[in-house]
């Protein structure tokens, strides 16, 4: 059993593997009462006003109690995350994308208390980003029906939250709005201005340094007049010499 679990984790991309290990660790420690379940609750005021920053990390890996349904949900999430991570082809780029997405989610929680953990909210946004990305790619291949049907899957869940669970629209929007913001900004800004918002900070810094180096390089101005090529200059005879030759010919 340990060998099977090791092989499964070994086949996962790095970031998905670390997230899976973190979720499994939090679930086991919570079930053994080694971690107080109240410490897993994320609240903006507790984190930033009471300086309980550990709640961010625990909430990212909080996916529920250790039950069979939770294990099934984690396995589904692992499959989706591994697919999305492989589509990036760059581990640092995918890590920066998750940090960027999590920062927007945390900013939105300042105005409304989320009804699920940061890990679940992050997963919902990753799924929405994957839907948007795949719908565009498949629509380019001629399957427009997928582009119309794909956004309806999460809408059914959000409609039930609003109708039956009494959630506000802003609380529900935390599940999908950050992903849409990043997708459209990356798509629109990237096409119009040629700026890649999903570049890791170190690559953005290198680009800035290169741009600064080019802008600081003084322009060399040549004040010397251009020299004329004697081959390009017509052989002009002075006027006086020309007149003397004509007079000699007449004589």
Q: How far apart are CA 1 and CA 7, in angstroms?
A: 10
- Would you place residue 6 in the very low, low, confident or very high pLDDT band (cuts 50, 70, 90)? very low
11 neighbors 86 (Cβ within 8 angstroms): no
* pLDDT value, residue 192: 81
The mean pLDDT value for 61-82 works out to 88
Nearest to 56 by CA among 36, 78, 74, 41: 41
Rounded to two decimals, the pTM is 0.73
**Tens digit of each residue's pLDDT (9 = 90 or more) over 100-113:** 999 999 999 999 99
What does the domain layout of the chain look like in residue ranges? 2-216
- How does pLDDT run across 44-67, given as a tens digit for each residue? 999 999 999 999 999 999 988 888
Query: Has residue 73 got a pLDDT over 60?
Result: yes
Topology given in CATH for the domain delimited by 2-216? Rhomboid-like fold (1.20.1540)
Examine the pLDDT at 215 and tell me if it is beyond 80. no
Query: What is the reported pLDDT for 133?
Result: 75
Burial of 94 (0-12, 13-18, 19+ CB in 10 A): buried
Determine the Cα–Cα distance for residues 30 and 175; give it in Å rounded to an integer: 25
Residue 47 is predicted with a pLDDT of 95
- Write phi, then psi, for 98 (nearest 5 degrees): -65, -40
Crossing angle of helices 2-10 and 14-31, rounded to 10°: 140
Kindly tell me if the per-residue pLDDT of 204 is higher than 80: no
Angle, CA 15 vertex, CA 1 and CA 63 arms, to 5°? 70
Are 21 and 5 spatial neighbours (Cβ–Cβ below 8 Å)? no
Tallying the residues shown for the chain, one arrives at: 251
State yes or no: pLDDT of 23 exceeds 70: yes
Q: Does residue 69 carry a pLDDT above 80?
A: yes
**Residue 202: pLDDT over 90:** no
- Residues 185-195 have a mean pLDDT of 77
Q: Residue 137: pLDDT above 80?
A: no
């Amino acid at each position: 059993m340990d060998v099977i679990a090791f092989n499964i984790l070994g086949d996962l991309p790095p970031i998905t593997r670390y997230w899976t290990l973190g979720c499994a660790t939090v679930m086991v420690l919570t079930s053994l009462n080694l971690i107080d379940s109240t410490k897993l609750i994320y609240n903006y005021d507790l984190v930033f006003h009471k300086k309980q920053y550990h709640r961010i990390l625990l909430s990212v890996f909080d996916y529920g109690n250790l039950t069979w349904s939770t294990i099934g949900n984690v396995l589904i999430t692992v499959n989706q995350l591994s697919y999305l991570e492989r589509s990036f082809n760059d581990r640092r780029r995918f890590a920066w994308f998750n940090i960027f997405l999590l920062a927007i989610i945390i900013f939105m929680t300042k105005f409304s208390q989320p009804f699920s953990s940061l890990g679940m909210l992050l997963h919902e946004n990753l799924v929405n980003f994957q839907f948007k990305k795949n719908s565009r790619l498949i629509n380019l291949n001629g399957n427009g029906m997928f582009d119309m049907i794909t956004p309806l899957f999460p809408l059914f869940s959000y409609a039930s939250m609003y109708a039956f669970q009494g959630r506000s629209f802003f609380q529900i929007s935390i599940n999908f709005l950050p992903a849409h913001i990043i997708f459209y900004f990356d798509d629109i800004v990237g096409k119009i201005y040629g700026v890649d918002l999903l570049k890791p900070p170190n690559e953005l810094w290198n680009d800035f340094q290169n741009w600064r180096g080019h802008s600081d390089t003084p322009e060399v101005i040549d004040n010397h007049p251009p020299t004329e090529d004697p081959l390009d200059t017509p052989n002009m005879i002075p006027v006086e010499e020309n007149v003397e030759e004509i007079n000699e010919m007449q004589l």
